[in-house]
A = this chain, B = another copy of it.
Amino acid sequence: MRVQHQLKTGSYKAAGFIGDKQRLVHDTVIPYQYDVLRDRAEDTEKSHVYQNFVNAAAALKGEDTGDGFYGMVFQDSDAAKWIEAAAFSLANTPDPELERQADDFIAVIAASQDEDGYLDTYFTIDNREKRYTNLLEAHELYCAGHMIEAACAYYEATGKRTLLDAMHKNALHLYDVFITKGHEGFPGHPEVELALMKLYRVTGDERCFELAKHFVDKRGTDPDFYKKELSRRNWQVWGNDASNNEYQQSDKPVRRLENATGHAVRAVYLYTAMADIAAETGERELYDACVRLWNSITRKRMYVTGAIGSTVLGEAFTVDYDLPSDTAYAETCASCGLMFFASRMLENEVKGEYADVMELAFYNTVLAGMQLDGKRFFYVNPLEVIPGISGVSPTHKHDLTTRPKWYACACCPPNVARTIGAFGKYAYGESEDTAYCHMFAAGEVSFENGLRLECKTGYPYEMEVTYKVTGKGRLAVHIPSWSKKTLFTADVKPCVPIVEDGYAYFDIDGEREITITLDGEPRLIYSTPKIYALTGKACIRRGPLIYCFEGADNGGCVTDIRLEKTAKPTPAGRRGELDNAVMLDVDALKLCFKGEGLYSDTAPKYDKVTARAIPYYTWGNRGENQMRVWADIL
């Protein structure tokens, strides 16, 4: 039923900007993360992820489990995300050593699977009797979901079935527990649902689909479920509030949800599965709920950087228009999840706004999650950072000024890695007769429908994109809504294609060359005054990139920069060490406060200066300094 769907792993060979990012992930991120999981990385918190599987396998055999389980209750998912990232990387860049590491890891994981298909080291090592007694907190189904995603990706990338078979068995075990035997409940942290949809497509086993839909359908039907579960168990992980159903997206059946609430990552993972199921079944009621949730996020609860989840308190959505820059949570993983959601919405309807948000989230928050050298990562992505306050003041402790190395809760680094690795799946899609380009991405693509294309572009910094397309069918290219003037040529001649809902359509029969020239004019962006934190401010956007001001380029201080209302930012060359980014210069005024102390009735003086802006995703790569996305305007 899906109007179009993602590429198979390996169908896209990246070049250009995305190729560079994939190479960085392959060369730096994946090896480093492997060392972390093996507890070999220097200056890093203990991970113990690999050893947990070894110890769980020992537990199954009744052997000594050595140092037992260590880490967060969802520690296994770090392995899953690493394998998934490795799988995508192997599909892009063959690497026998990496494949050997992954095969070895998978063997250890498979050995930790119980006879009945159960697989979770936290429970297998020490807590077998607690299985499925704390769906609210214990992340069993979350870990299963990630391992299922890894299994699908690794099978698609390498053709190897060990993990796929193990996780298929695991899924059937879950089916047995939750459907055949009727164990009540649904995951505290959604993830298994979207994973089961992937497994359903890879294996063709309808029970996977049935179980995914079961969890989605069950959710919120009994708002007291988690309270009842709590009353039945005598253990806890963090002591989550079992009655805060809004937080766990279980206050009502999902088809009646209106607002994006609660833990932001959980929310978008759930909505991704809902949209996936709606696309699969064509169910209008479920898709309508997805549209409402999409609108709740993108029209009321999303940062200009495509980040979501305003508050550190529960890593959560708050209320409409509450989008503070300085205390933002804006978790990297949540923007990965927003891309997933957008991608599934596109499988229901090919609409430019879905692709717009997907691109926004990727080029700004997801990329900002990783240092340019691939060695350090942000979990939290504030839009304003003031050394001395950010990371220090009790309300700003989570908003760090520079990326740390690795987290005890290491969800974001591998999430960035797998999202970059699978970029082709988000950038391209296909239907029976059409090749879809949702995001511009240099490289070569083979579609299952027989179309092939090669995309050449220096995007996101250069605005010309050329497609050489061969085959018979249609090419559909998303034209971002930020491109106010877009020029098209077909076989070197100007043309005016049909553009519908943000997509330009071209008929292909044989070989055609389509060139698209996007609008590269940097523009000031303003917010609705409903976002009270942003009144009187503007930020700069060029193409898909939101810019920011950083102290390093502006004499140390950026809080004194004010943009003239008529300011026109202009490109100011590339900056090699900042990802070869196009910098922007803009006429500005530097405020000179003449008063003493904190407050003064002496009007400030302004000095004319040229302020320099850099892409938001490149901030924090030159040590601790001030950063601000939204500048005051005059």
Contacts and interface: CB of A to CB of B under 8 A. Distances in A.
A604 interface: yes
A388 interface: yes
Given A313-B395, A595-B528, A601-B523, A321 B632 contact: no
Interface of A: 298-300, 302, 304, 310-311, 313-314, 316, 318-324, 326-327, 384, 386, 388-389, 392-396, 482, 484, 523-533, 535-537, 541, 557, 559-560, 562, 565, 591, 593, 595, 597-604, 628, 632-634
Nearest to A316: B394
What DSSP secondary structure best describes chain A's contact surface? Answer: loop
Given A525-B601, A526-B593, A532-B628, 4 more contacts: A298-B597, A311-B395, A319-B388, A322-B396
B395 A526 contact: no
Copies of this chain, whole number: 2
B536 A602 contact: no
Contacts of A384: 532
B327 A526 contact: no
Contact of A601 (B299, B396, B526, B601): B526
A633 to B, nearest CB: 7
* A-B residue pairs, 5 tightest by C-beta: A536-B632, A529-B560, A318-B393, A313-B394, A523-B601
A546 to B, nearest CB: 10
Contact of A530 (B302, B392, B559): B559
Contacts of A298: 597-598
Contacts of A310: 393, 395
A532 B597 contact: no
A322 B559 contact: no
Contact of A525 (B525, B599, B634): B599
A559 B532 contact: yes
Contact of A299 (B531, B559, B565, B598): B598
A393 B316 CA distance: 10
Contacts of A565: 603, 634
Contacts of A634: 565, 634
